[in-house]
Amino acid sequence: MAPKKTITAASLVHEGHPIATQTVPTDFAWRRDSTGSETQTLYFQLENGCLGFVQIAWAYLALTTTIETNAMFYIPGQPCVFESHNGHNLKVHKKSQEYECKGLAMSWNDDQTQLTVKYTAGKERNPKGVAASFIFARTSDGYKIGDAKNYIGDGSASHFFYPAGEITAKGELNGVKFESKGAGLFVHAHSANIMPYNVGAEWNMVYFIGYREGTAEDQKKAANAFTYNVLQYETPANAGSVNCSNASLTESSQLKAVLWDTTVEHFDEELDPNGSGYKIPKRLVFTSAGKTTDGKKIKVTFDANPAMRLHDIDVLHEMPYVIRRLVQALITKPFVFERYDGDSKVVVEIEGEEPFNVHGVAFNELTLMK
């Protein structure tokens, strides 16, 4: 039997039409419409050094619906905290403007310019667990590539982004209270008629924040920062091993460019000493191409060295029993490796302008399902 193909959203855009298009509020509405999975995720990089994400995840697999909350918090010099909990029941109100499950609530205002997040899942289960609240005030329009839908075999996968926003956060981590401002990124992911492990065999995600070379120390505030975000995955061999990617560059809380052609190269791979069975790259090179919001060609290169290992997620271990048995029969052992690069550099090349460097830090997530 011939392998089923992957057809990317970018490849379906007719010549002369923009590859990157603006999202509409309904792109961020819950679907929950078929076998597959769906997530709503807020990523954050705060001025006190704290970075991470909070997420509601929904899945319908093997006639079983699961709701989970996932959260990761890391402040340099402190232990990284990752929490995954049963969300029990997802309640959606006001045409997806508000939604909540046990331990995590997200609520948009009427014009979808501000998101309020309250995370209590950790504290509810353990007095030493994490509790945090966020206000994400988006500062630019959202984007998607084409209609956002990559067709993979008989199913599809879509991603929608609010790439720029100002974050106000407060919470308690490792028994210490914190309050800080920063930058944020919001992503809605949805797959339909396809098991999650059939979407991508390898995923590379990065969320970088930094400042243009030469920026004075007293000007290094989130409002003046650049961010570079990549979500790239390669579909499984039986779907053609096709590269699918989304990426963006923001400057001073505004979308500067959308990049739809990203390649990721892995170097210096070594067998994981923690026993996952995978070879983990010490170095990754991201190369993204696209256009700025004013129509210029742009190339962004990120030579990543995420030396600090924050947390490994054994996906099977986190799954309910019925789904775990199904997945275990079909793939080897899905793992997510959360890592941190504390001294990063992004090179930006824009048509008609001098190239420049941006120095900062990056959260790196590598997912392997082979």
Report pLDDT for 317: 57
pLDDT tens digit string along 334-345?
889 999 999 999
Span 9-51, pLDDT tens digits: 999 999 999 999 999 999 999 998 888 899 999 999 999 999 9
Could you tell me which of 200, 206, 184 has the C-alpha nearest to residue 288?
Answer: 206
Percent of the chain surpassing pLDDT 90: 76
User: Who has greater pLDDT, 281 or 313?
Assistant: 281
pLDDT for position 263:
98
CB 251 within 8 A of CB 266: no
Placement of tokens 């990157």 in the chain? 20
State residue 222 phi and psi, 5-degree precision: -55, -35
Taking alpha carbons only, the member of 370, 323, 368, 7 closest to residue 154 is 7
Tally of residues, the chain: 370
| Model confidence at 301: pLDDT above 90 | yes
pLDDT of 60: 85
On whether the CB atoms of residues 92 and 30 are closer than 8 A, the answer is yes
| Closest to 155 measured CA to CA, from 189, 194, 201 | 194
Q: How large is the average pLDDT for residues 162-178?
A: 93
Q: What string of H, E and C letters represents the secondary structure of 247-277?
A: EEEEECCEEEEEEEEEEEEEEEEEECCCCCC
Q: Which of 156, 197, 157 is nearest to 330 (CA)?
A: 197
Tell me: pLDDT of 231 over 50.
yes
Helices (H), the chain: 121-125, 315-318, 321-330
Residues 6+ apart with CB under 8 A from 115: 42, 106, 107, 108, 134, 135, 136, 138, 165, 186
Q: What is the pLDDT of residue 62?
A: 67
* pLDDT bucket at 329, cuts 50 / 70 / 90: very low
Residue 370: predicted pLDDT: 77
Query: What's the CA gap between 61 and 37, in Å, rounded?
Result: 8
Residue 327, pLDDT > 70, answer: no
The phi, psi pair for 239, rounded to 5°, reads: -115, 15
Between 180 and 324, the more confident residue is: 180
Detail the DSSP E strand segments found in 75-120.
Answer: 81-86, 91-93, 98-101, 104-108, 114-119
pLDDT of residue 234: 96
Centroid of chain to Cα 56: 13
Averaged pLDDT for residues 154-170: 96
Average pLDDT estimate for 313-332: 53
pLDDT of residue 321: 40
pLDDT at 340 (0 to 100):
96
Q: What is the mean pLDDT of residues 332-361?
A: 94
> pLDDT, tens digit, for every residue of 100-133?
999 999 999 999 999 999 999 998 888 888 999 9
Tokens in use for 281?
């790259």
Q: What is the pLDDT of residue 223?
A: 82
From the list 101, 74, 251, 271, the residue with the least C-alpha distance to 174 is 74
Tens digit of pLDDT for each residue in 179-208? 999 999 999 999 999 987 789 999 999 999
User: If phi over 0 gives left and psi between -120 and 50 gives alpha, with beta otherwise, what is residue 32?
Assistant: left
pLDDT the model gives residue 64: 80
The pLDDT value given to residue 333? 79
Q: Count CA within 13 A, CB hemisphere, residue 352.
A: 6
Q: What residues form DSSP beta bridges with 227?
A: 209, 250
In this structure, which amino acid lies at residue 15?
Answer: E
Residue 144, pLDDT > 70, answer yes
Q: What is the DSSP letter of 140?
A: S
Q: Which residues, 6 or more positions from 62, have their beta carbon under 8 angstroms from its beta carbon?
A: 322, 323, 326
- Give the bridge partners for 333, in sequence order: none
